[in-house]
Amino acid sequence: MTKDTTKIIRGFKDIYNDLEIKLLVDFETIISNISKQYGINELRPPILERTELFERSIGTDTEIGNKEMYSFEDKNSESISLRPEGTVTCVRCVIENNLIYDRGIKRKKYWYYGPMFRRERPQKGRFRQFNQFGIEYFGFDDINSDLEVIMFGNRLFKKELGIKDAKLHINSIGNAEDRKKYGDTIKSFLKKHTKILTEDQKKTLNRNPIRLLDTKSETLREILYELPNLIDMLSIKSRKRVEDLLEKLNQSNIEYILDNSIVRGLDYYNDTVFEWKHKSLGSQDAICAGGRYDSLVNKIGKIDVPAVGFAVGVERVLLVLRESYKNAKENNIVVIINYAKKDSVKCLMKTEKLRDQFNKIVFYSTNSSSTLDKQYKQAEKINPNYILYFGDEEVRSDKYTIKILKDGIKHEQISESELIEILKRINKWAINIPKKKKNFYLGLRII
């Protein structure tokens, strides 16, 4: 049967929407700026790697390693795969290129950004091609590096992107022995409940019981609430580590939820594991996930290098940001119509002052040699939500006129403080203007 070649493959998506493109470009600028501030270097590994690399590192008993990879035979009969995630590729890259050493000491920090591929069942926030931004700290075994990685996430979500209601869920899965012991506890605990388990859940119970903790089934969740928490069964060292980390989070005023269901779907973690979640996303609510993986580098490259990191699901972050844009019902472009005959320089200076005060608003001046009518038509083409009029009278009297285009409301003769209040509101909802990219905002339509 011939397929309709004008249709995209299921689970993939085209990106063409103005707002989405704008948010993506902003996001890319923000991550590269913050990474610089933390002294993290960029890596750009390839998208294809040997299948065996992923199978050995992610684990063949995990969903990704077991059935979600896009794997195929190359012409030389070697099995290769589109990367399902970035950590393993980064590890291969830093080992092969000897990038772990910094002036003779085993420690280096890297970030990456790019597409990942998983053949999962498509649903809201779950795509078969999606982008991850990740950071990975190699050679750091101290608790402060776990804290710094979390602080980075906190800065990114709360301060830079303004996603104040992102929630940090944290747990510790201890060492391999702790997990084995806890897995056995789950197995014996669930013996009396086998009837309610689906075939898939029974398989998970046999192979990797702690994965049942992040089940989406409410019935199973309720039963599992009765279990002791994993952190209460950890070995002394792991227990101390998580307690110290939680104490440091308290001292840093970073809110968290200690969550026994955070166990991660990849095999390489130990001790600290965490996810940032957002309630607007439904069942696929993790916008970022990560943790410590002290044995992965050894597993791949036979050298001991402790490591910690996370990856952000970029499309999910964009879904959250798009929602807040819709709720905001504002955009951040103010067109200035300067129709002063005598004091046009004062109008420009006033605009400069507003730019100093509101760094997230685009103030766009029309061609002031045109008539008021023509300037208005120009302004409409730019499609801002606000038009601010500056003429001789406004400059003289310090009373202003601002038109809110979407409602057709014109506030005339308002005082400077009233004007400032309106601009403060716009500034609050606008996301950061990337440096050197102001023009990009023009013509942006909020949908």
The residues that touch ligand HAM, with contacts defined as CB under 6 A, are: 85-87, 118, 120, 125-127, 130, 132, 134, 136, 265-266, 286-291, 293, 309-311, 313, 315-316
Check if the beta carbon of residue 285 is closer than 8 Å to that of residue 167.
no
Least distance from ligand HAM to the Cβ atom of residue 403, Å: 41
Least distance from ligand HAM to the Cβ atom of residue 241, Å: 17
Nearer to ligand HAM, 157 or 386 (CB): 157
Nearer to ligand HAM, 87 or 172 (CB): 87
Least distance from ligand HAM to the Cβ atom of residue 397, Å: 53
Q: Residues with Cβ < 8 Å from 276, sequence gap 6 or more?
A: 153, 157, 166, 167, 168, 169, 286, 287, 288, 289
Question: Strand 79-82 and strand 48-50: pairing?
Answer: antiparallel
Least distance from ligand HAM to the Cβ atom of residue 295, Å: 13
Element of type H or E holding 444? none
Nearer to ligand HAM, 265 or 301 (CB): 265
Q: Residues with Cβ < 8 Å from 112, sequence gap 6 or more?
A: 42, 43, 44, 45, 86, 89, 90, 132, 133, 134, 136
Nearer to ligand HAM, 174 or 309 (CB): 309
Helix, strand, coil % in the chain, rounded to nearest 5: 45, 20, 35
Nearer to ligand HAM, 176 or 372 (CB): 176
Strand order in the sheet with 399-404: 362-365, 333-338, 386-390, 399-404, 409-415
Residue nearest to ligand HAM (CB): 313
Least distance from ligand HAM to the Cβ atom of residue 185, Å: 25
State whether residue 132 is helix, strand or coil. Answer: strand
Q: Which has the closest alpha carbon to 130: 282, 345, 316?
A: 316
Nearer to ligand HAM, 127 or 256 (CB): 127
Nearer to ligand HAM, 139 or 313 (CB): 313
Least distance from ligand HAM to the Cβ atom of residue 291, Å: 6
Check if the beta carbon of residue 404 is closer than 8 Å to that of residue 385.
yes
Reading the block at residue 77, the tokens are 């009969």
Encode 261-284: b = buried (16+ Cβ within 10 Å), e = exposed: ebbbbbbbbbbbbbbbbbebbeeb
Nearer to ligand HAM, 291 or 306 (CB): 291
Least distance from ligand HAM to the Cβ atom of residue 276, Å: 8
Check if the beta carbon of residue 385 is closer than 8 Å to that of residue 331.
yes
Phi and psi at 402, nearest 5°, equal -130, 135
Least distance from ligand HAM to the Cβ atom of residue 353, Å: 41
